[in-house]
Amino acid sequence: ATKDDTRRIAFNYTHDGKGGLAVKTQQLSAPVVSTFKGTTDFLNGQTGDVKFSASGVQRSNGSPAVFAGKYQDVVTITVTAN
């Protein structure tokens, strides 16, 4: 793992669920938290694609690059009823 922010790879996340449950593409630099008040879509069953993408490391000239090596990350998805 690198602690050098200039070498970190930006991961993006999106969910294309229906009924207002979609999450637009955003960077996973912080937890993604969504609240869906008044919708029963989760109870009725909800499907949608969860997509992750990595665009490489941002170089000093602004374009992305991917350096040789092994990359891995852990993503945890939690659904909490309240």
Q: Measuring CA to CA, which residue among 6, 5, 9, 17 is closest to residue 45?
A: 17
State whether residue 36 is helix, strand or coil: coil
pLDDT tens for the chain, 82 residues: list them.
567 766 667 778 888 877 667 788 888 777 777 776 666 776 777 777 888 887 666 666 767 676 667 767 777 777 766 5
The beta strands (E) that lie in the chain are given as 11-15, 23-27, 50-54, 57-58, 64-65
pTM of the model: 0.51
The amino acid at residue 14 is T
Look at residue 74 in the predicted model and tell me its pLDDT.
75
- The per-residue pLDDT for 64 is 66
